Structure 1
């Protein structure tokens, strides 16, 4: 176990760079998990982190100690409180971070199971919420096109609440990369749909395509959709938030398959 008290320490500098820059996280191939819940979810799903960083004041915290018992001691770093304050944006939280090697997604040669494609979803909170719903609904694959929020950003991870660790997430996907591999019907929600999602047969694997918050699914992807489905909105609003609409669709499939 290491104890770091100097801001000139190389590990602290690396941690500060990761926390402060998406570019640095992509370059290093590493992500930062902030807080006990995400740390517990990661260790339970994927095992040992690269390092576990805990603030001095919370080293003996009752929520921290059981987690530290699961992590190899040589991976644990105790950080001076004044330094920890420089690498965490959480107010009144528990001072604990995990540094992990960002899981590398894989692109199956044939996609014949349920999947979800995010087409230019830009808000990290929406991306995280969609991933959370997908994982909860048992979706194995999430494919993100270029233009989506980073799946491993701090905000996305917080919104996902551990969902990232249960999905095969592939970023920077294009239509050319995916279209020839899809062996399931592709569905999209639309205000101009010819069917209602609650009256659509979803008992077999399907792919869902969800689009940008403002412009929706792009024209090139909409041309590849097998069927457009609508969500009834008797309240009269124009549309649902993309994460909410996605959850409705995914769990309608769950309902039908029970």
Structure 2
């Protein structure tokens, strides 16, 4: 890449469009585009046959071997070279990764139909929590994640970054009617609550299962608890009142994974130590 092509002005139209996409969830929805920050997400996009509309690269990263290898799959006219200062404006990280891609969201691909392992997220506000939960859900083999209208934007740069590529493995349904989904699910629906009497570990989770996780502050609403077949708590012998939402999700999802493996009914390909 020639240094004469480096964009250095904040008034550049292409740079302004990038800023708008990063800063505005509404604009991302209207344009049907997302912003992928960092090499991991760019590789995930390319590995699944996606092609970015645009890749913005920091001047200092332009000759990095790993990036150069990735960019071989991207037409030259879709690569935008930015000064390091402009590229830093596009990231909220202390050390920006130096590469951003604009692309269409990956199409949802159900692991199986009908899905037997669902995760319903009700009004989770923190992007880091949402991203971490999506990462865990993808790793645990969840078939589908449904997000209520009150959840953080699952396609925001912060969520995408926290999810570490899970969006390319995990079908998502935004602005979902969780009550309708819970009532229509052909299996057991389990809501979580710190005040429940039933312990998660006392349930048989080897059949079709949907977990409901609620807002970081108020938890699962009463209407969704009433739609569930069971409301469960996680044991906390150490005396804490609650767990972080992402940690609670990991416990719930992996308890089902544990039970399925113990029963020899994994349902998905599982990587085991030594194999």
Q: TM-score, normalised by structure 2?
A: 0.85
Name 1:80's counterpart in structure 2: 83
Cα gap change, 1:113/1:152 in structure 2, threshold over 3 Å: closer, same or farther?
Answer: same
Cα offset, 1:205, TM superposition:
2.2
* Residue 42 of structure 1 pairs with residue 45 of structure 2: yes
C-alpha contact 2:191 2:213 (8 A) present in aligned 1: yes
Cα offset, 1:189, TM superposition:
1.9
Partner SS state of residue 98, structure 1? strand
* Residue 172 of structure 1 pairs with residue 175 of structure 2: yes
C-alpha contact 1:127 1:243 (8 A) present in aligned 2: yes
- In 2, distance between residues paired with 1:176 and 1:230? 20
Q: Deviations over 1:145-203 (max 9, x none)?
A: 01111101111112111111111111111245424531121111223434322231111
C-alpha contact 1:140 1:168 (8 A) present in aligned 2: yes
Name 2:185's counterpart in structure 1: 182
Q: Deviations over 1:121-166 (max 9, x none)?
A: 1111111111111001011211000111110111111211111111
Aligned length: 257
C-alpha contact 1:25 1:31 (8 A) present in aligned 2: yes
Q: Deviations over 1:107-128 (max 9, x none)?
A: 9xx8542010001111111111
C-alpha contact 2:127 2:159 (8 A) present in aligned 1: yes
* Residue 69 of structure 1 pairs with residue 72 of structure 2: yes
Cα gap change, 1:46/1:203 in structure 2, threshold over 3 Å: closer, same or farther?
Answer: farther
- In 1, distance between residues paired with 2:256 and 2:115? 16
| Equivalent in 137, 142, 157 of residue 140 of structure 2 | 137
Name 2:268's counterpart in structure 1: none
CA RMSD of aligned residues (A): 2.4
Cα gap change, 1:230/1:177 in structure 2, threshold over 3 Å: closer, same or farther?
Answer: closer
**1:71-110 pair list within 5 angstroms:** 71-103=74-106, 105=108
| Equivalent in 232, 236, 258 of residue 235 of structure 2 | 232
- In 1, distance between residues paired with 2:183 and 2:240? 36
Partner SS state of residue 52, structure 1? strand
- In 2, distance between residues paired with 1:72 and 1:140? 34
Partner SS state of residue 89, structure 2? coil
Q: TM-score, normalised by structure 1?
A: 0.90
Structure 2 gap segments, 5+ residues each? 262-275
- In 1, distance between residues paired with 2:143 and 2:49? 15
Cα offset, 1:38, TM superposition:
1.9
Structure 1 gap segments, 5+ residues each? none
